[in-house]
A = this chain, B = another copy of it.
Amino acid sequence: MIGKLIENIKKKQAPVMVGLDPTMKLVPEHIKQKAFAEYGETLRGAAEAVWIYNKGIVDAVYDLVPAVKPQIAMYEQFGVEGVAVYHKTVEYCKQKGLVVVGDIKRGDIGSTSEAYAVGHLGQVQIGSARCRGFDEDFATVNPYLGSDGVKPFIEVCKQEKKGLFILVKTSNPSSGEFQDRLVLPDGCTDASKARPLYELVGEQVARWGADHMGQEYSYIGAVVGATYPEMGRVLREIMPKSYILVPAYGAQGGKGADLVHFFNKDGLGAIISSSRGIIGAYQQEKYGKYGEQNYADAARAAVVDMREDIAQALR
């Protein structure tokens, strides 16, 4: 799947993905009204509204981007109905030829991670049958539980030719609270040798990556927030063969010019993600002329601008 992702990136000339992170505040009024008229102001009504909204955006941008990243939390907020629309969205995006990164940030003890891995990326044995649950192409994984919480995901990826992006340095303001802590290397008592935790996690991702290669790149990638470009530069060197998923372009503050060092010299190795900046473009002054009715056209215009911003930075 890392091969398909890179092929898609090359074909569309855009190392860019759209985060499908719907909230009720982002869904245009006319869509909500229609869904609520049919299903009421209920979880079902909200889920239906999200589905119509998502479909509009995907139809408007699928030819411009290689991948999408639905954030499952935004669906879980609407309970089981929301989770059903998450699945429907994953399926629809795959039909459109998009690579789907499930932003699920799961991670648990071994046997539990295995269940997540099977449910999201693999097949579960049911009697004599093998069935697929959510079936994303990639998933994001939280490494706090260490190797035995990550390896079941890697195993399933190996079998299924899928991939992971493991959290190394997240984009949020307080990510440094634990991730930036200065850690002594094993057995070392020299404080001057201490290094931030995220670098150690990055090194572990690089090791996992080296053992699980596609052609040019590994199918075990990393998440490093666009909001920390200097750390991105260091992590790029630590994990030369890992694709880096870079969230937080746009709404959270990242800009194309800041992101050059997330890429390798081959122009590959990173994919930049924007969520609200694209799917909520119609609410921004810059794209206000499109109006709420044409939210999908606004999203397309925002993708065109994002592609250009990043292409220019990479030139």
Contacts and interface: CB of A to CB of B under 8 A. Distances in A.
Interface of A: 21, 23-24, 32, 36, 40-43, 45-46, 71, 73-74, 76-80, 82-84, 87, 105-110, 112-113, 115-116, 118-120, 124-129, 131-134, 142-149, 167, 170-179, 181-184, 188-192, 194, 197, 200-201, 204, 248, 252
- Closest CB pairs A-B (n = 8): A79-B133, A146-B177, A146-B174, A41-B127, A77-B119, A41-B129, A109-B172, A73-B115
B23 A78 contact: no
Contacts of A41: 126-129, 131
Nearest to A36: B127
A113 B73 contact: yes
A24 to B, nearest CB: 6
Contacts of A147: 174, 177
Contacts of A200: 178, 181
Contacts of A172: 109-110, 145-146, 148-149
Nearest to A171: B109
Contacts of A115: 23, 71, 73-74, 76-77
A113 B197 CA distance: 22
Given A142-B107, A174-B146, A79 B182 contact: no
